[in-house]
Amino acid sequence: MKSTLAFLVGAAAAVALLALALLALTPASRDVADIEVRTVPWRTQAGRIPKSYPPGQGFVAGWEGLRRIDVALVVQGEVEGAELELVLRSEGPDGDVLRRSRLGSDALPPTGASDWASFEFEPIAPSAGLRFWWQLELPGDVRSSPYTPWVRYDGQPGIDMAWGNRIVPGPVHEGAIADPSSAWGARDSYPRVPHPNLSALSFAIDVMRPAVGPCVLEIWGPDADPAVDPPLRRAELLPEEEVNGGYAFFSFEPIADSRWTQMRYRLTTNAGARVVGTEDGPSFKTWHGGGLALEENSTSFGQKEPPYLVGSSRAGVVRGDRSLVFRAYGSPQPLDAWKRAMDRAGWRLVAGALSWIVAVGVLARALALRQRS
């Protein structure tokens, strides 16, 4: 009887301790993001921010009191005297301006660093369930910025070539869609695509200005002759998709049967473009799959519909297949900490709690039996 009572007392104590632990999450929940684009490692940067084509991002807030947006940045060049302004709008890139937040170089990542920049502003209420759009703009008369935002393409990374060590000459670049330095590039003695549903290529670019002239990617299948056959896929950058020290994304309808096929590409740029690569040719990354569900690329606690990520933009032109890496913060209610824990851990949290309770109860019972003996 005493051992059973000890077990029940131990289990009750375990429940109380667990409740106190979860309750302790409530004040800390203010410092946890409402929405967060999760991608590790950060693979592709969008390039230095040009004044004419500022980058932006749309999202739907999950909490009330939207008050802060963090943007992942990498620095290319000297930052002394540089500034960035986050402009927050309602609905879309052309919506009403709701807030502005400006940071100087002392509050932004230092030269050579890659880190978060936190833009804070007066809280917005109501904000839960509403769509917002933020944009990074350059104050003053500067034409470009040393800061470049990180971007996440909504697909799975495949070939992941490193940034090259030279500028590859010429406006036309051709090659196999494979990494010549990897084992996949040598499979069966000739290069093949290592994954199905090829959907995009992103090329390392020093400078590329599509507004000056066309920048086009063409892809041919294994049995086609690029000299006479039309391409299987064709993608062209929009004039607004200028790149300076970043990756140019060429996305197209996924090629379902791309795995282990010998596919070739041709990248044709204007005369002023500078493509980065190695002695083997341009450096690029491939992306495959139809894209992850937006809910899997981000988190918004307490809300499942509509999707939290709306897409990224460049000078108001929206691309729905990619997102800038960012975090949005609101002012959660006390129960939001519990909702957050359940959203992140789900059944694992429940299983862990039950295991904790049983373990403490068994320990209490064992101690009681030892005292009796």
CATH number for 163: 2.60.120
| Same-domain pairing of 257 and 318 | no
Half-sphere exposure of 264 (CA within 13 A, CB side): 15
State residue 354's pLDDT score: 63
- Taking alpha carbons only, the member of 30, 278, 43 closest to residue 160 is 43
| Same-domain pairing of 121 and 201 | no
| Same-domain pairing of 209 and 160 | yes
| Same-domain pairing of 88 and 207 | no
**Residue type, position 208, single letter:** M
**Rg over CA atoms, the chain:** 26
Count of domains for the chain: 3
Say which residue, 175 or 11, is predicted with more confidence: 175
- The band of 111, judged by pLDDT with boundaries at 50, 70 and 90, is confident
pLDDT at residue 67 is higher than 90: yes
State residue 304's pLDDT score: 44
For the record, the structure tokens of 206 come out as 């020093």
Task: Of 22-36, 180-194, 237-251, 299-313, give the range with the top mean pLDDT.
Answer: 237-251
CA dist list (Å): 8 to 13, 17, 287, 361, 365 = 9, 14, 55, 7, 9
pLDDT at residue 301 is higher than 80: no
CA dist list (Å): 349 to 30, 144, 344 = 21, 47, 9
| Same-domain pairing of 68 and 51 | yes
Residue-range definition of the domain harbouring residue 363: 2-30+336-372
